[in-house]
Amino acid sequence: MADGTPVTVTITRILNETPNIRSFFFDQPFVFNPGQFVMVWVPGVDEIPMALSSLNSITVQKVGDATSALFSMKRGDKLGIRGPFGNGFTHGEKVLAIAGGVGAAPLLPLVKADCVMTMLLGAKTESELLFLDQLDECTDVVIATDDGSQGNKGFVTTLLDDLNLALYDRIAVCGPEVMMRSVLAKVTEKGVLHKTEFSLHRYMKCGMGVCGSCCIDPSGLRVCRDGPVFSGTILQKSEFGHYMRDASGRKKSI
């Protein structure tokens, strides 16, 4: 629930999306705006922020203790969910969506809302392209893989060179922060920074704006309450793409 009260949900289905990404479906739907997140409690392990990839699912990449514990769970197991929290992407009539890896998860609901005109989808290799079949049904998808196994060879940011960005009224971006920083530089160069929105991932304790653990420099804006979606103009002169902080508050280079 959005008031922060935890809800216990039961896992009803687990879908292997790629070799290291799975979607976990549960028995209760949540009303949310694409880009909002929930705090997911993995019993006995930790509570972590996760974007909703549908009304009743989260899509998870195995990267740490909590996500590893999630990957060991099975149908019928229970999770705690708080939220949804934060803000989402701005809807528009002609949206360009740019996703790298698991960053496609918070963008999938935006695509299904029928406002994404073009989707740029990037991954390291063909087997790691996320939601390709679902995205193809809803929008024009252009692909880039690092190894050239499908689509253009190279980073997803190179696809921007072949687009007329003036055609789009909004540009929504989610993926690894190094990739998003490259997008930020590219849209600044092309004079369309004001159209952009980026989804940030930061360490969070409360998810409700109380603890301050997810504040970004130098503005002090909280990712959980003022984000996780921020305009490119706000992020241009921030820590974005340079560093983030760990659980103790120490800077970690990106």
> How does DSSP classify residue 16?
E
Domain limits, the chain: 7-85, 95-253
Which residues are annotated binding-site positions?
A: 206, 211, 214, 224
Written as tens digits, the pLDDT of the chain (254 aa) is: 556 678 999 999 999 999 999 999 999 999 999 999 999 999 999 999 999 999 999 999 998 899 999 999 999 999 999 999 999 999 888 999 999 999 999 999 999 998 899 999 999 999 999 999 999 999 999 999 999 999 999 999 999 999 999 999 999 999 999 999 999 999 999 999 999 999 999 988 888 888 889 999 999 999 999 999 999 999 999 999 998 998 888 998 98
> Rounded to whole angstroms, how far apart are CA atoms 16 and 22?
5
> Rounded to whole angstroms, how far apart are CA atoms 191 and 89?
20
Topology (CATH) of 95-253: Rossmann fold (3.40.50)
pLDDT at 90: 92
Contact criterion met (CB below 8 Å) for 174 and 104 = yes
> How does DSSP classify residue 64?
S
pLDDT at 93: 86
pLDDT at 160: 94
Which residues are annotated binding-site positions for [2Fe-2S] cluster?
A: 206, 211, 214, 224
- Does domain 7-85 correspond to CATH entry 2.40.30.10? yes
Cα dihedral 239, 181, 39, 77 sign? negative
Contact criterion met (CB below 8 Å) for 79 and 8 = yes
